[in-house]
Structure 1
Amino acid sequence: MAKYKGIEVKDNVRQLLPHMPLIEEYREMLQSLQAVWDNLNLLGQLSGTTAEIGQTREAFASLTGELLNNLAEQTLAKREQEMKARSQVVIDILVRNLFERTADIGFLSTDEVIRQFAAEPGEPWALQQRFKEYVRKYSVYEDVVLLDCNGRILTRLMPDKQVAVIHDSWVREAVSTTAPYVEAYVHSGLFPEQSRSLIYAYRIKSERGETLGVLALCFRFADEMQRIFRGLTQPDDPGVMVLLDAAGLVISSSDPWQVPVGAELRVESGSLQRLRFAGRSYLVFASDTKGYQAYMGPGWRGLVMMPVAQAFDIHDDDPLDISEPALLASVMSGGRAFSEPLRAIPHKAEAIQRDLSRAVWNGTVRQGVASAAVNSAFSKILLREISRVGMSMREVFSRSIGNLQSTVLSSLLADSHFFAALAIDIMDRNLYERANDCRWWALDSTIRSLLANGTARDRRANLEKVITYINSLYTVYDNILLFDTAGKVLAVSNPDHASLVGQPLAEPWVDDCLGLRDSQSYAVSSFVPSPLYGGRPTYVYLAAVRAPNDAQVVGGIAIVFDSAPQFSTMLYDALPREASGEPVAGSFALFVDGEAKVIAASGGSFLPGQQLTLPAELLKPAADGHARLIALDGQVMAVGASPSSGYREFKGRDDEYRNEVSALVFIPLGAYDANARSADPEGEVAMHRPAIASDTPVREIATFHLGAHWLGLPVTSVLEAIELTGAACLPNAPKQVYGALIYRNETLPIYNLHAALGLEAPPGQTTACRQVVVVRGENGVNFGILVDRLGEVMEVPNDDIDDLSNIYVGVASVLASVVKTPPGSGLPMLVLLSVESMSEQLRGSNRPAPLDA
């Protein structure tokens, strides 16, 4: 622990507190109020008025430190979680993308057109057009280059006459490697103006196994990183996202003016750290990739850097709108959202406020009894001021606790929203590749010639050789089918579906596919159960296959997406994680279509095709997404939703394909109790002095509350209020007798007004929250009244008090009289109780009538 401006704080937040403006504001307000209270307390002690509030003052001071510590720690934890998630996504989204590139180079290096040109180089125009077709579909590449084994450029998509031969080491490695691809991030002779380029390469071999050359796919690295950064950047975000290589050098930056490429940053992965860079202090969090299908990428890391001076300015004071009180009350009562120390803070604040209210109430009651005393007027003013300061402190505490709760819950809601956005982004990026694959494979020269030649020898075997090889590289597909213009299946890649060969396809998408206008067009089935996928729902991606001369459509290619495991994996990878790396217990994620039907689920009780009934803003979220608390299956859930917005050309402005899909992520926070309610704060107890003429006879009334009812007694009938502790039940006692406790070494019977008046006890109220008003009974036999909370001590003109005896004729009721309410005031009715009747009932006599009689 350390001292910060007079408050004990934990070491891990001491240096950060000056940069947390909201917490500084609360600290200053609380310390200012405590200074005023100290002066009032001193005056009270000199006058003998405030003997009871010393401990309350100390309790407030102690809770101030505890509250500010927790608020600071939760603010820091919220920022850490945001930074951790973003740094993880920076690297994992990139690695997923690069995994697809490793499959691309493996397949394209076997392309027959490229192979023939490598064997017999000639006029490059036709091959350049093929490269152009490829990049039109796979726009993640900036260039495609074919070289001989010595690095001489045979042709490339973007010809450069000044670069005819290169001496990059990856060329030699691609010729000799035993790996399925070469991945190089280096300064390349292909792009002498760039510091480094990301290149995927592999050798081209003849049918006899002779190496003919090397094919290189040049990835749009800078463009892709900026897309990733833009997707993760928040409005007015002062932070910087960077990509580090294995040596700790910055290879990409979201803000190169703040953190330039080439800077060296020495940081450990997996924890929040302080880093000083370029004269500025940063909070930093670095993450290693989790990998994708055993591919771990080039050994890079994602890093988020947040300037300490601005790290806690971001939306920390945004209000949290929770429409249903039971949701927040349920979360506060248990579950993972709030630890036990956090849940205890509001209860401690309530207890302190009850102590203060009781002390001021008792002091005001005593001054009312001793109204002839010389210092009575001064004491009452002093008590009113102490109460006013106490109310101000309660308001600051209430706001601070509310902000603490908001910080915790908004962090969880932001998590659910963030991970929903991640899930839909993964889906869009993945399906972008599927739309590319079907169109590119439709341009395969072998497939085109065999579909055009219906009498070709061994046509099925040769077609299946091609698509089986493709399917071995691209394992996200359950099957690849080729069909003719009549919709008859000619070949399949999955031997388990061999019975389809020769059968006509009765799917509506056959005509859609055969009617596609050009090689850039594609079709997609609806997400519905398909006989091609064992009756399970999936997407089928299609492209028309044209004759080698492009004169006519000769058939189509259908690729059956293996949706069940692929979508499940995407959703699983987007789940929130514990520190151990395991998903949060009970959390799950869904993909949902535009008709609120489940496409896929990572877990939970939902199944594909199931209709959802959730709030509309979750099922059809706005473009920037939505997050809220809901009750689901007996749990309070933080739910985030994010709609599909596409990736690059996929679902872009010029893409005719549209498919309304959203991702939802559910995080359980605790059991839901529809009757749960947050405790009502203690009411104001300062004595009110309405405008009453000085010569008007008045009676001073001590008031208290039972549920929604406002009751009172003359102050002359009241000794004091005490907390209900140590009470014991009395066997065979009537319902209006709650029990008894020891008070000033004597037994004090307790009158149960709830039972006597036929009222329900407040739900969820603990015994510790209830109070006992000690009443001067007849013949010196005192008793207590069980109340929910204390009210005001107020003066009432005698003329405003109406006797109730004419209503309860012949019945000894505990209700003695009522105080007139000014018309239009909206105030509840104040009912005064009969001490005599309660005393009689405690002696076992008359029973009271209900309050609503």
Structure 2
Amino acid sequence: MAKYKGIEVKDGVRQLLPHMPLIEEYREMLQSLQAVWDNLNLLGQLSGTTAEIGQTREAFASLTGELLNNLAEQTLAKREQEMKARSQVVIDILVRNLFERTADIGFLSTDEAIRRFAGDPGEPWTLQQRFREYVRKYSVYEDVVLLDCGGRILARLAPDGANPVIHDAWVHQAVTTTAPYVEAYVHSGLFPERPRSLIYAYRIKSERGETLAVLALCFRFADEMQRIFRGLTTADDPGVMVLLDAGGCVIASSDPWQVPIGAELGVVAGALQRLRFAGRSYLAYASDTKGYQGYRGPGWRGLVLMPVDQAFDIHDDDPLDIPEPALLASVMSGGRAFSAELRAIPEQAEAIQRDLSRAVWNGTVRQGTTSLAVNSAFSKILLREISRVGMSMREVFSRSIGNLQSTVLSSLLADSRFFAALAIDIMDRNLYERANDCRWWALDATIRQLLAEPAAKNRRGGLEQVIGYINSLYTVYDNILVFDNAGEVLAASNPAAAGMVGQRLAEPWVEACLGLGDSQSYAVSEFVPSGLYGERPTYVYLAAVRAPDDARVVGGIAIVFDSAPQFAAMLNDALPHEADGSPVHGSFALFVDDQARVIAASDDRYRPGAQLALAPELLHPAADGCARLIALDGQVMAVGASPSGGYREFKGSDDAYRNAVTALVFIPLGAYDANARPAEPAGEVAMRRSGGSGEVAIREIATFHLGAHWLGLPVAAVIEAIELHGATSLANAPRQVYGAMIYRNETLPIYNLHAALGLPEPGEGSSVRQQVVVVRGDDGKAFGILVDRLGEIMEVAEGDIDDLSNIYVGIASVLASVVKTPPGSGQPMLVLLSVASMSEQLRGSGLAAAVDA
């Protein structure tokens, strides 16, 4: 622990507190009120008025430190979680993208047109057109280059006219490697003006296995990183996201003016740390990739930096919009959202406030019975001031606690929305590749030639050799089919589907595919059960195959997406995780269409095709997503929703394909109790003066509450209020007798007003902490009345009190009179109780005799 401006705080947050303006504001308000409190307490002790409230000073001070500590820790934890999630996504989204590139180079290096040119180089124009066609579909590449084994450029998408010899090491590696690809992030002769470029390369071999050339795919690295950064940047975000290479050098930055490319940063992964860079202090969180299907990328690391002096300026002080009180009350009562320590803070605050209210109430009651008029007047003024300061402290505590709760819950809600955005981004990026693949493979020279020649020798074998090799590289497909203009299946890549060859496809997408107008167009099936996928629902992506001379459509290619495991993997990757890396127990994620039908789920309870009941804002969220608290299957859930926005050209403005999908991520926070309610705060307990003239006879009334009912007794009949501790129920006692407790070394019978008036009692688990008002009976013996909370001490004109004895009879005769309220005032009715009636009922029950004995 450390000292910060008079408050004990934990070492971990001591240096950060000056940068947390909201917490500084609360600290200043509380310490200011405590200074006033000290002065009032001193005056109270000198006058003998407030002997009971001195002990609350230390309780307030202790809770102030505990509250501010926890608020600071949760504020820091929220920022840490945001930074951790973003740094993880920076690297994992990139690694997923680069995984696709490793498959692309493997396939394109077998392209027949490229192979023929490599074996007999000539005028490169035709090959450049093919490269251009490829990049129109895979816009993640900025250049495609074919080089001979010595590094001389044979053909290039973007020729510079020089055709220099490239001496980069990756050229030789591509010729000699035993790996399926070469991945190089280096300074390259292909782009001499750049510090480094990301290149995927592999050798081109003849049919006899002779190495002919090297093919290179040049990835739009800078462009892709800016897309990733933009997708993760929020409005007015002072943070910086960077990508580090294996040596800790910055290779991409969301803000190069703040953290430039080439800077070296020494950070460790998996922990929040302080970092000083360029004269500025930062919070830093770095993450290594989790990998994708065994691929872990080039060994890079995602990093988020947050300037310490701005890290907490974007903290949101607005209360959460939670329309149903039971949701927040349920979460506060248990579950993963709030630790036992956090749940105890509002309980401690309410207990301290209840003790203070009771001390002021008792002090005011005592002053109402004193004969020292001058001292009594001073004491009442003092008590009113103490009550006012107490109410101010309660307001600050209430705001602080509310902000603490909002910080925790808004962090969880932000997590759910972030993970939903991650899930849909992964889906869009993945399906972008599928839309590209079908169109590119439809341009394969072998497929086009064999479809154009129905009598070609070994037609089926030739087709299956090509699509079988493709499927071995692109394992996200369950099957690849080639069909002719009549819809008859000519070949299948999956041996298990060999029986389909020769069958005619009757699906509506066959006609849509054969009617596509150009090589940039594609078709996609609805997400419905398909015989191509064992009657399970999936997407089928299609492109028309044209004859080698482009004069006519000769068939189509259909790629059957292996939706079940692929979508499950996407959704599982988007789930929140515990510190040990395991998914949060009970959390799950869904993809749903615009009719709230399940496309895929990480939880087996939600089967594809199932219909969900979803609020409109979750089914059709805004572009930046939304998050809500809901009750589901007996749990309070934080639910984040994010709609599909596409990726690059996929679902873009020029893409005719539209498919509304929403990702939903559910995080359980605790058991739902529809009857749970937040704790009722203690009310004002200071004296409320009568509005009449000084000549009007007045009566002082001590008031209290039972549920929504406002009741009172003459101050002269009240001894004091005490906590309900150690009360014992009595066998065979009437229902209006609650039991008895020890008070001043004597047994005190307790009258149960709830039972006497037919009011429901606070149930088990209720936030109400009942108290006992000790009353002096008409026989001089004390008894207690069970109340829910204390009210004000009222000065009431005698003329405003109406007798009720002629209206109520029997047990209800405990209601003695009512205090009239001005018409239209909106004030509740104050009902006065009969001490004599309650005392008589206790005597009649035999309890008094038992107590005396």
Contact 1:751 1:838 in 2 (8 A): yes
Aligned counterpart, 1:273: 273
1:378 aligns to what SS in structure 2? Answer: helix
* Alpha-carbon shift at residue 779 of structure 1 (Å): 2.1
1:28 aligns to what SS in structure 2? Answer: helix
* Alpha-carbon shift at residue 260 of structure 1 (Å): 0.2
Aligned counterpart, 2:159: 159
* Alpha-carbon shift at residue 540 of structure 1 (Å): 0.1
> Which amino acid in the other structure matches residue 111 of structure 1?
D
Contact 1:163 1:190 in 2 (8 A): no
Contact 1:153 1:164 in 2 (8 A): yes
* Runs of 4+, deviation exceeding 2 Å: 371-374, 762-768, 808-812, 844-847
Aligned counterpart, 1:141: 141
Aligned counterpart, 1:781: 781
1:309 aligns to what SS in structure 2? Answer: coil
* Alpha-carbon shift at residue 133 of structure 1 (Å): 0.2
Aligned counterpart, 1:394: 394
Contact 2:676 2:766 in 1 (8 A): no
CA distance in 1, matches of 2:636, 2:12: 31
CA distance in 1, matches of 2:809, 2:78: 64
Contact 2:420 2:642 in 1 (8 A): yes
1:160-219 superposed Cα distances (whole Å, 9 cap, x missing partner): 123421100000000000000000000000000111000000000000000001000000
CA distance in 1, matches of 2:789, 2:750: 16
CA distance in 2, matches of 1:421, 1:764: 41
Aligned counterpart, 2:503: 503
Q: Which moved more, 1:156-165 or 1:102-111?
A: 156-165
Aligned counterpart, 1:850: none
Question: Which ranges in structure 1 are unaligned for 5 or more consecutive residues?
Answer: 848-853
Aligned counterpart, 2:185: 185
Aligned counterpart, 1:74: 74
- CA change 1:564–1:729 in 2 (3 A) is same
1:335 aligns to what SS in structure 2? Answer: coil
- What does 1:324-363 align with in structure 2 at a 5 Å threshold? 324-363=324-363
Aligned counterpart, 2:719: 719
Contact 1:205 1:211 in 2 (8 A): yes
- CA change 1:371–1:518 in 2 (3 A) is farther
Contact 2:762 2:768 in 1 (8 A): no
- What does 1:28-427 align with in structure 2 at a 5 Å threshold? 28-427=28-427
CA distance in 1, matches of 2:353, 2:524: 64
> Which amino acid in the other structure matches residue 117 of structure 2?
F
2:201 aligns to what SS in structure 1? Answer: strand
- CA change 1:59–1:290 in 2 (3 A) is same
Question: Which ranges in structure 2 are unaligned for 5 or more consecutive residues?
Answer: 848-853
Contact 1:387 1:686 in 2 (8 A): yes
1:719-776 superposed Cα distances (whole Å, 9 cap, x missing partner): 0000000111111111111111111111100000001111111345669811000000
1:265-310 superposed Cα distances (whole Å, 9 cap, x missing partner): 0000000000000000000000000000000000000000000000
* Alpha-carbon shift at residue 236 of structure 1 (Å): 0.2
1:780 aligns to what SS in structure 2? Answer: coil
CA distance in 1, matches of 2:78, 2:304: 14
Aligned counterpart, 1:742: 742
1:61-87 superposed Cα distances (whole Å, 9 cap, x missing partner): 100000000000000000000000000
Aligned counterpart, 2:658: 658
- CA change 1:582–1:425 in 2 (3 A) is same
1:773-822 superposed Cα distances (whole Å, 9 cap, x missing partner): 00001222110000000000010000000000111257771010000011
CA distance in 1, matches of 2:419, 2:330: 24
- CA change 1:155–1:371 in 2 (3 A) is farther
Contact 1:689 1:794 in 2 (8 A): yes
> Which amino acid in the other structure matches residue 686 of structure 2?
A
> Which amino acid in the other structure matches residue 161 of structure 2?
K
CA distance in 2, matches of 1:764, 1:648: 57
Contact 1:143 1:218 in 2 (8 A): yes
Normalising by structure 2, we get a TM-score of 0.98
Q: Which moved more, 1:324-333 or 1:778-787?
A: 778-787
* Alpha-carbon shift at residue 666 of structure 1 (Å): 0.2
Aligned counterpart, 1:678: 678
> Which amino acid in the other structure matches residue 484 of structure 1?
D
1:826 aligns to what SS in structure 2? Answer: coil
2:844 aligns to what SS in structure 1? Answer: coil
- CA change 1:195–1:810 in 2 (3 A) is closer
1:425 aligns to what SS in structure 2? Answer: helix
- What does 1:599-618 align with in structure 2 at a 5 Å threshold? 599-603=599-603, 605-618=605-618
Contact 1:91 1:287 in 2 (8 A): yes
Contact 1:812 1:837 in 2 (8 A): no
CA distance in 1, matches of 2:688, 2:600: 62
Aligned counterpart, 2:439: 439
* Alpha-carbon shift at residue 605 of structure 1 (Å): 1.7
CA distance in 1, matches of 2:273, 2:4: 21
Contact 1:623 1:643 in 2 (8 A): yes
CA distance in 2, matches of 1:91, 1:781: 77
Contact 1:725 1:768 in 2 (8 A): no
1:282 aligns to what SS in structure 2? Answer: strand
CA distance in 1, matches of 2:711, 2:366: 19
Contact 2:141 2:220 in 1 (8 A): yes
1:499-538 superposed Cα distances (whole Å, 9 cap, x missing partner): 1110000000000000000000000000000000000000
> Which amino acid in the other structure matches residue 525 of structure 1?
S
2:374 aligns to what SS in structure 1? Answer: coil
Contact 2:154 2:163 in 1 (8 A): no
Q: Which moved more, 1:762-771 or 1:57-66?
A: 762-771
> Which amino acid in the other structure matches residue 452 of structure 1?
A
Q: Which moved more, 1:812-821 or 1:184-193?
A: 812-821
1:302 aligns to what SS in structure 2? Answer: strand
Contact 2:679 2:767 in 1 (8 A): no
CA distance in 2, matches of 1:162, 1:403: 65
Contact 2:680 2:768 in 1 (8 A): no
CA distance in 2, matches of 1:394, 1:445: 78
> Which amino acid in the other structure matches residue 503 of structure 2?
Q
CA distance in 2, matches of 1:57, 1:761: 33
* Alpha-carbon shift at residue 700 of structure 1 (Å): 0.2
CA distance in 2, matches of 1:6, 1:138: 62
- CA change 1:371–1:619 in 2 (3 A) is farther
Aligned counterpart, 2:842: 842
Aligned counterpart, 2:819: 819
1:535-593 superposed Cα distances (whole Å, 9 cap, x missing partner): 00000000000000000000000000000000000000000111111110100000000
Aligned counterpart, 1:634: 634
CA distance in 2, matches of 1:811, 1:535: 72
- What does 1:558-707 align with in structure 2 at a 5 Å threshold? 558-603=558-603, 605-707=605-707
CA distance in 2, matches of 1:812, 1:681: 29
Contact 1:686 1:792 in 2 (8 A): yes
CA distance in 1, matches of 2:846, 2:294: 82
Contact 1:482 1:490 in 2 (8 A): yes
Contact 1:677 1:764 in 2 (8 A): no
Identity %: 83
> Which amino acid in the other structure matches residue 181 of structure 1?
Y
Aligned counterpart, 1:555: 555
CA distance in 1, matches of 2:767, 2:779: 30
> Which amino acid in the other structure matches residue 128 of structure 2?
Q
1:675-701 superposed Cα distances (whole Å, 9 cap, x missing partner): 001110001101111422010000000
Contact 2:419 2:574 in 1 (8 A): yes
CA distance in 2, matches of 1:23, 1:782: 47
2:89 aligns to what SS in structure 1? Answer: helix
> Which amino acid in the other structure matches residue 118 of structure 1?
A
Normalising by structure 1, we get a TM-score of 0.98
CA distance in 1, matches of 2:624, 2:297: 30
> Which amino acid in the other structure matches residue 547 of structure 1?
A
Aligned counterpart, 1:851: none
Corresponding pairs, count? 847
Contact 1:87 1:303 in 2 (8 A): yes
